[in-house]
Amino acid sequence: MIRDRLRDVSGQIIAIAVALILGAIIILLVGESPLRVLTTLLRGAFGDQEKIAGTLLQTTPILICGVAACIGLRGGMFNVGIEGQLFLGGFAAAWVGFAFALPAGLHMLAALALAVVAGAAWVAIPAYFRARYNTNEVVSTILSNYVAVLLTSYFTIFLFKRPGGWSETPPILPSAYLPELFSFSRLNWGLIIGLVLALGAALIFRYTSWGYGVTMVGSAPKFAEYGGVNVKRQGFVVLLLSGAVGGLAGGIETLGVHHRFMEGFAPGFGFDGLIAALLANGSPVATIFTALFFGALRSGSLLLEVDTSASREIITVIQALIILSVSAQVLVRRRGDSQAGERRWKF
Amino acid sequence: MVSNAGSPTLHMKAEMAVALTGITKRFGAFVANDGIDLAVRRGEIHAIIGENGAGKTTLMNILFGLLQPDEGSIRLNGEETVVTDPAVAIKAGLGMVHQHFKLVPSLSVADNVFLGMEIRRHGLIDHAAQIARTRELSKRFGLQVDPTERVGLLSVGIEQRIEILKVLVRGARTIILDEPTAVLTPQESRELFQTLRSFVAEGMTVIFISHHLEEVMEVSDTVTVLRNGKKVATRPTAELNKDELVRMMVGREVSFDRRPRTPSRGDVVLDVKELWARDDRRLPALRNVSFTVRSGEVVGIAGVAGNGQTELAEVLSGLRPASHGSARLKRRDLATLSPREIREAGLAHVPGDRMVRGVDRNASIAANMLMGRQHRAPWSSGGVLNWTAISQNASRLIRDFDIRAQGPGDAVKRLSGGNIQKVVLAREFTNDADFLLIDQPTRGVDIGAQEAIHDEIMRQRAAGRAILLISVQLDELAALADRILVMFNGRIMGEVAGDGADEDRIGMMMAGVAAPEPAAEPA
Amino acid sequence: MEILDKLVNVALIAATLRTTAPILLVALGGSFTTKAGIFNIGLEGQMLAGAFFAVIGSIWTGSALAGVACGVAAALAFALVFAVLVVSFRANEVVVGLALNILAGGMTISLMKAIFGTRGSIVGHGIVGLPKVQLPGARAVLGSWAPLISGFTPIVYVGFIAVPLLVLFYNRTRLGLYIRVVGEKPEAAEALGISITRVRYIASLLCGLLAGLAGAHLSLGYITMFTENMSSGRGFMAVAILIFSNGDPLKVLWGCLLFGFADAFSLRLQTFGYPSYLVLTVPYVVALTALFALSYRARPKIITETLASMQRLLSTDKNIEQGGKHPS
């Protein structure tokens, strides 16, 4: 068992190494020195305590979105719509934050609750059609992302624009703020919530009857059906929960970092989360580390933009390369194991 | 043993369309074909008959180049040939109609017939020419099809005609049909036999695989009987009668390890009345099936695979709806219950396709043994799993059922087939269910494990469980069942007492020969 | 009514044809992979790469045609990577497709920054757009309706001519037939000695070819510029169309015309002062609605079959019952 685990992990590491080499080649093509890019990334991500806090700040939404993706993947569902759920959740939380006045604490909880509901509601229709009529959830959730982003922009700019501002809502009341952890950074309780969610999801999948049934639906649906698990219902529930966590990610981003909703407020976090979850092979605990990795890349890329001629999107290139090489790692595995290698990504 | 009196001698080999000598094929320790000689004369219909697993299909796959023999040689039309792949066989004039059709539903009949050897004009496929050629061939051999129709809309019988046309278009002079009548209605079978005779009339040769006695008697010129991978005999059909054929197929030397049995006086646990159900193709798979299973009793279902047993198991476990009639488990109507509720009402189920339904191969033994009881104490309380209890239980079952594994954390995919089956049995037999539905408990399991599994089934019987045992292995049923019901074509053909099981009679019923018990009509 | 007249006129229909062309081309490209049994969510990335490199090629060579060739080559490279991973390595097609989309997005922005030192978009720099083809005599014959057939870029014509060609391809050519067989019944292909791997590679590359053309049309067609993520989900809409059309070229055409119309209509609405953000959702909402509505109609076989068998239950079972009394 431990040898299996080791082999899994070593496969993942080899894949990442291959991706980094490919990334280095692309950086060379872009006309930068890979070494300089690397040191800049490291400096940008871990240079001092503010930079480390910045990395953790970037990690938070990736982690929560990653947990959302893990929940879906466990039940055999690809929720590619986390980006949209994040935006709607973010807006919903902001709306509660600026439109109502409630006691501190309660205000924050109410805002987060609406964010959760918004995320779940946004995925409900694709989830229903997936469970009931087997409508491809990948396409329906991707397309709903575009609608969600445009819809929240419409809300922000046409309905709730801050007077005098450009494309942002009025600021939320301080009573709805997520408390910050340190004085020198906007790093907040969101990170703690993310860690709790990741560990909680892992515990639920491992230690509850429900989690066991869902895991079996994801990995062997016919076996689950035979054992009396309602495969269709669990598929629906899993997507709904995944959407709810996606919405929560948006709410936390609003209440903890921006304190308002603005157009394009958290671009790409949903996709980063999905990639982090895939790289973690659907394990919420492993997602903590992959999310930290991507958070560091993102945080480091801010300095990259300033200090080198490379664009910060070079890190999305590296992320994509990592996923591609991990997905192809059947290559580096023994032939007899090719089936296992295949399944890892079939979820 | 029966002699090979009727087998053709060597000097006649020039007349032989096909001659196999000493063909042996092993799969691991299992010998599927053991030194089989087979000679098929040009212009005859040669039937190859035997029970499931007798090695018929393996032998034909070797002849057609789909498998390579470990020993032995093949002569086609008198020429020593190494059949490396089907292309070689096709070139030598062989054609095979498989049991499972390989047709493309969205294409027309003619397109399917000519797939891979399209007639083209100016680089484009000439549909008109293909349709004309197909029509011509279908007329010539009485294979009625409309070449322009889409295959997806056609019945299985017509699909088979298309498969035969495919073979003919490729110039086959010797046609192998693997269990061709298994999917046909009696009328369609008769039409097929007409076609086969027209082939022979044109000087072609037919090799016909079957386990259906009557049709072999009806259509073939020569019969070869296989049993347990060995050839029993080759005889002209005219010299044989059905009783002899059954004896050769089933064999006398099979020792039925009969256990003493007393009829059960227990309560009726499962009561099936006039049950009808459809298969995936929406054809009736169960026709008016009625029986009961009492506690402390093993009721066996005998029959050739694909005669409704799978559908019966699926209906009883809630995985397939019944179209008519009722099945009651301890007086509760199964139609109103979900699969989970049926389990809770007292079903334990050992599924026939254990790799898909029975286990999650990638999960651990412990996780596999949890399925179906994850909501019950002591494995969970308040929705929280107790992995200590689950693991301990798994360890105990590994010991009790003698599962060869390192521990409960081992992935099921690391185990052998027999041990995977024991994982399933261990889980289902310790569920405290009153009704055990056991489908093919020893398929692909080695002899030693078979013994252990049989002992366990008898222990469950002694503990007062009601057991429905579905098996294609007659000796298994004779060894375990109190009563044996024989299924053919979705119907129960009759009942035989287990300890007085007369293999001949069962064999006849399995082949659809014996008259069924008078069937009650559905309301 | 007056507003409706302003909204719906010859210009709108011509605009519909223009906006249909890129989605039609990319969907027809996806038709190859769909027919070959591959779920290709990577169309978006292929299109985006095609759009970017078409602009680069056009600037480098000063020729629109060479630009198109560059765009197609880039899309083909993406298609090849997709095929290698999905067909040869049997990686999950959704994961590979999504990763390639992300790669295309990041790569185009990074290269833009590296080459032009800018973010956002590439305008000017001597991009040569595609010429508009004025059909001779169109104006004389059709008068004010001439814009319906004349004045489009060559790629628009290619897209619409490709529809009947693909119908012919799938029905009358050996390769077209084999692509269908491989997608529909791989075991049949195997039994007949057709190489599934080779057919799937060819289908993936043909897909890349058309997706590249679609991308080139985006950046060299009616606007000669490249902007970040300018394919804006058209590749995903194409996948939605492919799901409910099953890749049949004629159905793909109708689906694309619907989206092209939705696209053109929403652009038109914007110029009339409707809130652009809401209006821009129209094509996506149309795609989603169509996806859900059509999957409802094509309910899983089990449901329809059960219904059908229940409907026929009484009559058929009566017949069987009769047969049951006289077993043959």
Q: What is the CATH number of the domain that holds C177?
A: 1.10.3470
pTM attached to this predicted model: 0.83
Size of interface B-C (CB pairs under 8 A): 76
**Residues on B contacting C at a C-beta cutoff of 8 Å:** 86-87, 98, 102-107, 111, 115-116, 118, 120, 123-125, 127, 186, 276, 278, 282, 284, 287-288, 321, 323-324, 491, 515-516, 519, 521-522
Cβ-based contacts of A208 with chain B (< 8 Å): 380, 383-385
User: Is residue C252 a part of any domain in this protein?
Assistant: yes
What is the spatial distance between Cα B399 and Cα A239, in angstroms, rounded to a whole number? 40
Helical H runs in A177-230? 189-207, 209-219, 221-226
CB B300, CB B249: distance < 8 Å: no
Helix (H) or strand (E) holding C243: helix C234-245
Whether B415 and B438 share a structural domain = no
Query: What are the residues whose beta carbons fall under 8 Å from the beta carbon of A333, sequence distance 6 or more?
Result: A7, A11, A340, A341
- pLDDT for the residue B446: 65
CB contact under 8 A, C317 and B323: yes
Q: Are residues C121 and C55 in the same domain?
A: yes
Please tell me the total number of residues recorded for chain C in this structure. 328
Selecting from B356, B387, B409 the residue whose C-beta is nearest the C-beta of A1 gives: B409
Judged by CB atoms closer than 8 Å, whether chains meet at C233 and A143 is answered as yes
Q: Report, as ranges of residue numbers, the positions in chain C whose pLDDT lies below 50.
A: 1, 300, 302-303, 306, 309-328
Q: Indicate if C48 and C183 belong to the same structural domain.
A: yes
Looking at the fold, whether B237 and B300 belong to one and the same domain comes out as no
Residue type for B177, please?
L
Clarify whether residues C159 and C286 are in a common domain. Answer: no
Distance from CA of C103 to the nearest CA of A (A): 5
Contact between residue B64 and residue B28 where contact means Cβ atoms under 8 Å apart: no
**Count of domains observed in chain C:** 2
Q: Are residues C250 and C290 in the same domain?
A: no
Nearest CA in chain C to A31: C114
Q: How far is CA C77 from the centre of its chain?
A: 18
Asked if C247 and C161 sit in the same domain, the reply is: yes
Helix (H) or strand (E) holding B332: strand B332-333
Chains that touch C (3 or more CB pairs under 8 A): A, B
d(CA C1, CA C223): 31
pLDDT for B257: 54
Token look-up 């073939």 returns B220
Q: Which of B218, B233, B250 is the last residue of a domain?
A: B250
* Residue C261 covered by a domain: yes
Residues C22 and C149 in one domain: yes
- Rounded to whole angstroms, the Cα distance separating C51 from C49 reads 5
**Quick check: is C206 in a domain?**
yes
Residue C210 lies in a domain: yes
**How many secondary structure helices (H) and strands (E) does chain C include?**
14, 2
C198 and C257 part of one domain: yes
Chain A residue with Cα closest to C107? A317
What span, in angstroms and rounded, lies between the C-alpha atoms of B292 and B275? Answer: 12
> In this predicted structure, what is the pLDDT of residue C82?
94
Instruction: Tell me the residue type at A262.
Output: M
Q: Kindly state whether residues B263 and B226 are assigned to the same domain.
A: no
Q: What's the Cα-to-Cα distance from B233 to each of A23, B223, B239, rounded to whole Å?
A: 69, 8, 12
A168 token code pair: 């942002």
Using a 10 angstrom Cβ sphere, with 0-12 exposed, 13-18 middle and 19 or more buried, the burial of residue B232 is: buried
pLDDT tens over chain A, length 347 residues: 566 666 666 777 777 788 888 888 888 887 788 888 888 888 888 888 888 998 999 999 999 999 999 999 999 898 999 999 999 999 999 999 998 888 988 999 999 999 999 999 999 999 999 988 888 888 899 999 999 999 998 888 888 877 777 788 888 888 888 888 888 888 888 999 999 999 999 999 999 999 999 999 988 889 999 998 999 899 999 999 999 999 999 999 999 988 989 887 778 899 999 989 988 888 899 999 999 999 998 888 888 888 887 788 888 888 899 888 888 764 444 333 333 333 333 32
B92 located within any domain: yes
- Phi, psi dihedrals of residue B271, rounded to the nearest 5°: -130, 105
Contact between A226 and B351 under an 8 Å Cβ cutoff? The reply is yes
Identity (one letter) of the amino acid at A13? I
Reported ipTM: the value is 0.84
What CA–CA distance (Å, rounded) separates B361 from B354? 10
Q: Answer yes or no: do A1 and B317 touch at CB < 8 A.
A: no
Alpha carbons C252 and C74: distance in angstroms, whole number:
24
Q: How many CB atoms lie within 10 A of CB C318?
A: 11
Residue A259, both tokens: 């304190």
Q: Give a yes or no: residue C328 inside a domain.
A: no
* Cα distances (Å, whole numbers) of residue C21 to B381, C261, C282: 60, 11, 18
The C-alpha atoms of residue A342 and residue B498 are separated, in whole angstroms, by 47
Alpha carbon distance A328, A15 (integer Å) = 8
Cα C252 from chain centroid? 8
**Last residue of a domain, which of C273, C300, C315?**
C273
pLDDT of C8 reads 61
Chains contacting chain A through 3 or more C-beta pairs under 8 A = B, C
pLDDT (0 to 100) of residue B144: 86
Closest Cα in chain C to B518? C325
- CATH number for the domain spanning B160: value is 3.40.50.300
Residue labelled with tokens 């765009």:
C71
| Closest CB from B340, B360, B410 relative to A228 | B340
- Based on the fold, state whether residues B223 and B336 are members of the same structural domain: no
Q: How far is CA B181 from CA B100, B127, B178, B223, C40, in A?
A: 12, 31, 9, 16, 41
Do B91 and B119 fall within a single domain?
yes
Which residue range is the domain that position C45 belongs to?
1-273
Residue where a domain stops, chosen among B202, B219, B250: B250
Euclidean distance between CA atoms B44 and B219, whole angstroms: 10
C193/B284 touch (CB, cutoff 8 Å), yes or no: no
Strand B435-439 with B384-385, pairing: unpaired
- Across the interface, whether the CB atoms of C177 and B515 are under 8 A apart is answered no
Selecting from A1, A212, A230 the residue whose C-beta is nearest the C-beta of B385 gives A212
CB proximity under 8 Å: C 262-301 to A? 275, 277-278, 280-281, 284-285, 287-288, 291-292, 295-296, 298-300
Q: How many independent structural domains does chain B possess?
A: 3
Residue with tokens 């219902």: A233
C-chain residues near B288 (CB < 8 A)? 321, 324
Torsion angle (degrees, nearest 10) of CA B392, B398, B400, B401: 150
C-alpha distance from residue C207 to each of C34, C73, C138 (Å): 10, 12, 32
B102 falls within a domain: yes
Which of chain A's residues have a Cβ under 8 Å away from the Cβ of C280?
150
| pLDDT number for residue A333 | 40
What is the sign, positive or negative, of the torsion defined by CA atoms of A266, A29, C92, A287? negative
Which among A239, A194, B117, B90 is positioned nearest to C194, based on CA atoms? B117
Q: What is the pLDDT of residue A181?
A: 84
Using alpha carbons only, give the angle C274, C277, C278 rounded to the nearest 5 degrees: 65
The single-letter code of the amino acid at B277 is A
* Domain match, C244 and C183 both: yes
CA distances from B399 to B350, B374, B405, C111, C292 (A): 20, 21, 10, 63, 52
**Residues of chain B with C-beta less than 8 angstroms from the C-beta of A224:** 371
State whether B146 and B288 are in the same domain. Answer: no
pLDDT in tens, chain B (523 residues): 334 444 444 444 457 889 999 999 987 777 888 899 999 999 999 999 887 667 888 899 899 888 899 999 999 888 888 888 888 888 889 999 987 788 998 899 999 999 988 898 888 999 999 999 999 998 888 888 899 988 887 877 888 899 999 999 988 999 999 888 766 766 778 888 989 999 999 889 999 988 777 788 888 999 999 888 888 889 999 888 877 887 787 665 444 455 666 776 788 999 999 999 888 767 788 988 999 999 989 999 988 777 888 899 999 999 888 888 899 998 899 988 889 999 999 999 999 888 888 899 889 999 999 998 888 888 888 889 999 999 999 999 999 888 888 888 888 888 877 788 889 999 999 888 899 999 988 876 766 677 788 888 888 888 889 999 998 777 788 888 889 999 988 889 888 887 766 766 777 777 776 654 444 434 3
Both B78 and B204 in a single domain? Answer: yes
Domain that holds residue B79: 16-250
Is A2 in the B-facing interface, judged by CB distances under 8 Å? no
Which residues make Cβ contacts (< 8 Å) with residue B71, sequence separation at least 6?
B22, B23, B24, B35
> Which of A205, A217, A226 to probe by mutation at the B interface, max B CB count within 10 Å?
A226
Sign of the dihedral through C-alpha C273, C274, C278, C279: negative
Label residue A172 left, alpha or beta by phi (over 0 means left) and psi (-120 to 50 means alpha). Answer: beta
The answer to whether B374 contacts A209, with C-beta atoms less than 8 Å apart, is: yes
Task: Give the separation between CA A17 and CA B468, rounded to whole angstroms.
Answer: 56
Tell me, yes or no, whether C161 and C279 share the same domain: no
| Chain segment B420-448, per-residue pLDDT in tens | 888 999 999 988 889 999 998 887 676 66
B356 contacts A223? CB cut-off 8 A? yes
Spatial neighbors of A156 by CB under 8 A, at least 6 apart, are A91, A167, A168, A169, A261, A262, A263
* Residues B440 and B498 both lie in one domain: yes
Q: Are strands B284-294 and B268-278 parallel, antiparallel or unpaired?
A: antiparallel
CB contact at 8 A, B130 and C182? no
Bridge partners of B462, per DSSP, are none
Among B344, B358, B385, the residue with its CB nearest the CB of A209 is B385
Sorted by sequence, the CB contacts under 8 Å of residue B473 that are 6+ apart come out as B442
